[in-house]
């Protein structure tokens, strides 16, 4: 470790031990003075600050082991000009996210940093910048706002709004499920976010509980545009053809098949899966592995949500089932239509758009029955004749009555002639 790197790490470590209340600024200053003295001594290379803090009894070995990795991570972030890393918030498959302070505006932000192992991977870098650009094009209170994206040294970074709160996934882990009323509040806000994104020409492609943040004030914010794509980006669609991008529990059938024409209706499916999970406490489909789960999305019949939670209204169940139709054509025609139904159900009214979809499906089923030559559904119900069938029915009755009268007249005339 070179002298500059050691000095930077010690500087970060010193700040962190004070911020975490492990030592006072005065005690830290005494250790720094001692470190300088050792460094100036002839034949000495100095001593790491951590060792001096332990030797002085200011922190324990265990505390040093816990805080050293954080100091190294924060040290990486210090290479991003204008920001001071505070702590790590979490990490995903592609990047780690840190809380930081934007020095110019004195505000807290979140910074996503691409690991150095991906710095030579053109595909990862392209997707990372695509996320930043997609988020920057969207300006909506229910979408986590992008602030900056760029590169500093060996690190690619994406700065975004910091949301202090929890995710819907956190709530489901702690409480099992949402009440219908609370779920509707969140889902309506996410539908508004999606409507804004879809009108701007973007599809999210990874709507799920962990990507929905809930602030302390109860505001929902759609996060993580890592899989977002402009719907018009044909080149990206062709490059991804045949590959399943998404999260198995919430992925749409067309995404599983890697279709080239995936559109906004994939987000509607993902939100339907999320809504289902929120009000039932269970994911729509389960399996021993991701492939098995995705096969269920493609082939298995959905367990109606009210079979798992009999307190749900029929309106909520209808909305979820239309969102989660296997065929995109049987889902909502737009996120705006979905939003209208959600707001109607929240107000105690029926979901008109969902019922239109059910009516169309029923007509199509009757049409298929007619073409197959099978008996219509009403024929199986004893003593019941639908209004649309009544004219045919009474015409047949009248025909038989006329035939009977003619037959009787013929018999009478024949008898009189004899």
- Return the CATH class of domain 168-355: mainly alpha
Q: Tally the C-alpha atoms within 13 A of residue 331's C-alpha that lie toward its C-beta.
A: 26
Question: For position 83, what pLDDT does the model report?
Answer: 86
Residue by residue, DSSP assigns 245-304 as -S-GGG--HHHHTT-TT--THHHHHHHHHHHHHHHHSS-S---SSHHHHHHHHHHPPPPP
Structure token digits, residue 396: 């047949």
CA end-to-end span of the chain, whole Å? 131
Give just the sign of the alpha carbon dihedral 312, 222, 300, 364: positive
> What are the contacts of 351-358 at 24+ separation with CB within 8 A?
351/315, 351/318, 351/319, 351/322, 353/322, 354/315, 354/318, 354/319, 354/321, 354/322, 355/318, 357/322, 357/325, 357/330, 357/331, 357/332, 358/318, 358/322
pTM: predicted TM-score of the whole model, two decimal places: 0.69
- The domain segmentation of the chain, as residue ranges, is 1-76, 79-162, 168-355, 387-417
> What are the contacts of 167-176 at 24+ separation with CB within 8 A?
167/209, 167/210, 167/211, 167/212, 167/213, 167/214, 168/209, 168/210, 168/212, 168/214, 168/220, 168/274, 168/278, 169/208, 169/209, 169/210, 169/212, 171/209, 171/214, 172/209, 172/277, 172/278, 172/281, 176/281
Question: For position 93, what pLDDT does the model report?
Answer: 62
Looking at the annotation, which residues are catalytic? 206
Question: For position 396, what pLDDT does the model report?
Answer: 53
Which residues, listed in sequence order, are joined to residue 166 by a DSSP beta bridge? 214
The CATH superfamily holding the domain 79-162 is: Phosphorylase Kinase; domain 1 (3.30.200.20)
Question: For position 397, what pLDDT does the model report?
Answer: 52
Per-residue pLDDT of the chain (418 residues; tens, 9 = 90+): 444 445 667 777 887 788 778 888 888 888 888 888 777 765 555 678 888 888 888 888 888 877 777 676 666 555 678 888 877 787 766 677 888 889 899 999 998 888 777 777 777 787 778 777 777 788 899 999 888 888 887 778 889 899 988 999 999 999 999 999 999 999 999 999 999 999 988 888 889 999 999 998 999 999 887 566 666 566 665 666 666 777 899 999 999 998 888 899 999 999 999 999 999 999 999 999 999 999 999 999 999 999 999 999 999 999 999 999 999 999 999 999 999 999 999 999 999 999 888 766 555 554 554 444 444 433 333 333 333 334 444 455 566 666 667 667 666 666 666 5
Residue tagged 């505070």 (tokens): 86
């Amino acid at each position: 470790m070179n002298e500059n790197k050691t000095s930077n790490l010690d500087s970060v470590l010193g700040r962190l031990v004070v911020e975490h209340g492990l030592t006072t600024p005065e005690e830290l200053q005494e250790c720094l003075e001692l470190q300088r003295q050792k460094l100036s001594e002839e034949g000495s290379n100095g001593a790491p600050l951590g060792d001096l803090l332990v030797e002085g009894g200011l922190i324990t070995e265990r505390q040093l082991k816990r805080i050293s990795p954080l100091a190294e991570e924060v040290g990486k972030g210090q290479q991003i000009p204008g920001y001071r890393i505070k702590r790590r918030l979490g990490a995903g498959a592609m990047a780690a996210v840190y809380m930081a302070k934007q020095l110019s505006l004195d505000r807290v932000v979140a910074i996503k940093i691409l690991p150095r192992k991906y710095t030579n991977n053109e595909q990862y870098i392209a997707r990372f910048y695509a996320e930043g650009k997609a988020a920057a094009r969207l300006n909506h209170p229910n979408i986590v706002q992008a602030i900056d994206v760029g590169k500093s040294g060996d690190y690619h970074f994406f700065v975004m709004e910091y949301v202090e709160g929890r995710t819907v996934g956190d709530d489901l882990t702690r409480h099992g499920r949402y009440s219908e009323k609370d779920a509707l509040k969140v889902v309506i806000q996410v539908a508004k976010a999606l409507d804004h994104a879809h009108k701007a020409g973007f599809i999210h492609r990874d709507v799920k509980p962990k990507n929905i943040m809930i602030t302390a004030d109860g505001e929902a914010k759609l996060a993580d545009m890592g899989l977002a794509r402009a719907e018009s980006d044909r080149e990206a669609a062709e490059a991804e053809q045949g590959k399943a991008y998404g999260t198995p529990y919430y992925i749409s059938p067309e995404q599983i098949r890697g279709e080239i024409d995936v559109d906004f209706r994939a987000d509607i499916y993902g939100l339907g899966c999320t809504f289902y999970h929120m009000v039932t406490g269970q994911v729509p489909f389960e399996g021993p592995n991701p492939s098995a789960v995705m096969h269920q999305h493609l082939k298995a019949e959905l367990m109606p949500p009210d079979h798992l939670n009999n307190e749900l209204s029929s309106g909520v169940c209808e909305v979820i089932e239309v969102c989660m139709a296997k065929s995109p054509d049987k889902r909502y025609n737009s996120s705006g239509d979905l939003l209208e139904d959600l707001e109607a159900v929240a107000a105690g009214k029926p979901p008109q758009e969902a019922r239109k979809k059910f009516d169309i499906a029923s007509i199509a089923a009757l049409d298929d029955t007619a073409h197959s030559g099978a008996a219509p559904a009403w024929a199986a119900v004893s003593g019941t004749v639908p209004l649309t069938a009544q004219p045919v029915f009474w015409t047949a009755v009248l025909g038989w009555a006329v035939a009977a009268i003619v037959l009787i007249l013929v018999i009478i005339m024949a008898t009189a002639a004899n």
